[in-house]
Amino acid sequence: MFRMLAGLVMAVMWIFSASAQQPAASSRLDDIIKRGTLRVGMTGDYLPFTYFDKATAKFRGFDVDMAEALGKALGVKVEFVQTAWPQMMKDFEADNFDVAMGGVSITLDRQKKGMFSTPIMREGKTPIARCADKGKFETIADIDKAGTRVIVNPGGTNERFAKANIRNAEIKTWNDNVSIFDEIANGNADLMMTDAAETRYQQKQHAGVLCAVHPEKPFDFAEKAYWLQRDVALKAFVDQWLHIATEDGSYRKIYAAWFD
């Protein structure tokens, strides 16, 4: 009996000793720091969050500034990787970037593939239309009528929301998310349902022509966050960075530059 116990103790000690000698698996956070680069996926077509300027070959926007601030906190350079809404899931699964930023909404389909940071913004879909027609599109029932032309950009939550709620109105697809609002202004579509923050921004860009419809009371609930490759250490760092940025005022400073 004694020999059996002694043998068992020796076996347990050997297992613990072998485990202690095994090097700990590195996290993605470790890899990013070692690499010296944070790869950030962006569509570059969604102001005020992200816009790719072809003339300068550079990104600009709220989440561009936030990405640079995150890179500084990590002590690494930021490499922007251009993607597109219909392609984003495939690019994420292919590990083309460490984090997707640029007005990314939290969805359960995306959650299955990665992890989301602490939400950075509460959002929801609301219409934007020509100011003269603003009162015509207060509700989904007002919008979902034969003869109404709803325009959407493909591949994202705007298209999914429209298809889930519109049965009678016409849904028009426009591939360029930058010029899509000009289609409404020029009378080629009646409205678009998109995130409240975007309607406020585009209202400023098309002052007196386009008006956001009740952006303070959107049709649904949604949140924006940063979509991270599945790594607990990376998520913990990003969440802590966001917490500090919120408390020390640096988040508010970047927000004010694009939304106020």
Q: What's the pLDDT at 29?
A: 98
The CATH number covering residue 141 comes to 3.40.190.10
- Whether residue 139 is found in the same domain as residue 108: no
On whether both 70 and 56 belong to a single domain, the answer is yes
Instruction: Identify whether residues 153 and 188 lie together within a single domain.
Output: yes
Judgement on whether residues 187 and 65 belong to the same structural domain of the protein: no
* Residue 168 in tokens: 């009678």
Q: Does any domain span residue 9?
A: no
Quick one: which H or E segment has residue 192? strand 191-195
Separation in Å, CA 32 to CA 53, 80, 181, 200, 249: 26, 14, 38, 35, 26
Low pLDDT (below 50) residues in the chain: 1-2, 4-9, 11-12, 14-16, 18
What's residue 25's pLDDT?
73
The tokens for 260 are: 């106020």
Residue 204 in domain = yes
Question: Does residue 15 sit within a domain?
Answer: no
For residues 165 and 180, membership in a common domain is answered with yes
Give pLDDT, residue 22.
55
Same domain, 116 and 243: yes
Dist. CA 33–CA 98, nearest whole Å:
12
pLDDT digits (tens, 9 = 90+) for 127-147: 999 999 999 999 999 999 999
Q: Which of 78, 112, 67 is nearest to 93 (CA)?
A: 112
CA dihedral in degrees (68, 57, 201, 102; nearest 10)?
A: -50
- Cα–Cα distance, 113 to 225 (Å, whole number): 15
> Residue 198 belongs to what domain range?
125-212
Residues 65 and 44 in one domain: yes
Cis omega (within 30 of 0) for bond into 48? yes
Report which DSSP code applies to 111: H
Residues 248 and 200 grouped into a single domain: no
What is the per-residue pLDDT for 21?
Answer: 55
Do 111 and 140 lie in a common domain?
A: no
Q: Does 95 lie in the same domain as 69?
A: yes
Q: Which of 128, 174, 131, 134 is nearest to 151 (CA)?
A: 174
Give the pairing type, strands 37-42 and 45-46. unpaired
- At 49-72, the pLDDT tens digits run 999 999 999 999 999 999 999 999
Are 207 and 137 within one domain?
yes
Q: What is the pTM of this model?
A: 0.81
Q: Which pLDDT score, from 0 to 100, does residue 233 have? A: 97
The structural domain count of the chain equals 2
- 170 shares its domain with 110: no
Q: Is the residue at 245 inside a domain?
A: yes
107 domain-assigned: yes
